[in-house]
Amino acid sequence: MDEHNGLIDPLNDINWSYYWQKELMELPPSNKSKDWDNIAKKFKEWMKKDDYPEKLLDKIKTHPNNSVLDIGCGEGTITLEIAKHVSEVTCIDLSTEMLEILDQKAQTEGIKNLTYLQGDMMDISLESLGEKDVVVASRCLNGVMEIETILRKLNNIGKSVYITLRHSGNFNPETNISKIINREYPKYPSYMYVCNILHKMGITANVEKLECDTLNIYEDMDEVMDRYRWKMGGLAHDEEMLLRDHFKKILVTNEEGYLENPEESSDWILIWWKN
């Protein structure tokens, strides 16, 4: 155990990975994974209202001769823009459907410098891909149990690494939901665990908040309730009735006829460093 002036050094002595895992284990089972193949085709509509990609892309620094690894690339909102400005991009995603959509979009835009790998990031030998100039893990690490393992892998292969994690902030819809149904809202671990893990790894990372104006959109009330059933790990009948009444009061119909929840925020924390 390290000591600092004769005292325990919390930053270096605490096992931050353990507490990250402990908080993930406390999430409802249905909140630990998503069926990405089933929701892949909804991304086109979701992204119409998403200014997150623009905010993130503005922060990622690349050069024309760069090689890039995009982990959790999804349907390619970040990937395709990066690919236009670099030599090559390796794209990894768990969902076959997501990668198929990405490939279709790449073909439509005439982008030919993409390589696809389907699978879990923990099961793929990232080191075998070789060193990359830039590694991006966008909105895909919040639910990763072996967070320290993946951070070490990213650090080993990336000259520059950019990751984003969800940020709840001081006011969020979770607070209202908890009050309405009198039950704690499941939350993913704080991004601060990652900062502390990186510190123990000897990495001084840059941290900044990406303030996004994105609102989640829904086709109807049933889709709203589906989302919150998943978030809460299921809802009792009386809880669902309470939430339906709440959403009927606050949901707004936008110009395209979709429902928006003005209480939902989509702020993300960007953590990046260079080796």
Residue 221 lies in a domain: no
- Whether residue 230 lies inside any domain: the answer is no
> How far is 104 from 13, CA to CA, in rounded Å?
48
In a domain, 241, yes or no: no
Cβ atoms within 10 A of the Cβ of 273, count?
Answer: 18
Q: How confident is the model at residue 50 (pLDDT cuts 50, 70, 90)?
A: confident
Helices 147-157/16-25 angle, 10° precision: 120
Instruction: Answer yes or no: is 189 within a domain.
Output: yes
Question: 116: pLDDT confidence band, cut at 50, 70 and 90?
Answer: very high
| Beta strand pairing call for 206-210 and 259-260 | unpaired
- Torsion angle defined by CA atoms of residues 127, 129, 134 and 139, in that order, rounded to the nearest 10 degrees: -80
Neighbours of 93 (CB within 10 A): 27
In whole numbers, what is the pLDDT of the chain averaged over residues? 87
Question: pLDDT tens-digit profile of 201-255?
Answer: 999 999 999 988 777 778 899 988 988 887 787 899 999 999 999 999 999 998 8
Strands 259-260 and 217-218: antiparallel
Residue 181 predicted with pLDDT over 70? yes
d(CA 43, CA 40): 6
Q: Are 236 and 244 in contact (CB under 8 A)?
A: no
In CATH, what number is assigned to the domain containing residue 40? 3.40.50.150
Q: Does 207 map to a domain?
A: yes
Q: Which domain holds residue 179?
A: 3-214+266-274
Question: Domain for residue 67, yes or no?
Answer: yes
Residue 151 lies in a domain: yes
Residue 84 pLDDT > 60? yes
Number of domains in the chain: 1
211: left (phi over 0), alpha (psi -120 to 50) or beta: beta
Q: pTM value?
A: 0.85
Q: Which of 42-46, 56-60, 207-211, 255-259 has the highest mean pLDDT?
A: 56-60
154 part of a folded domain: yes
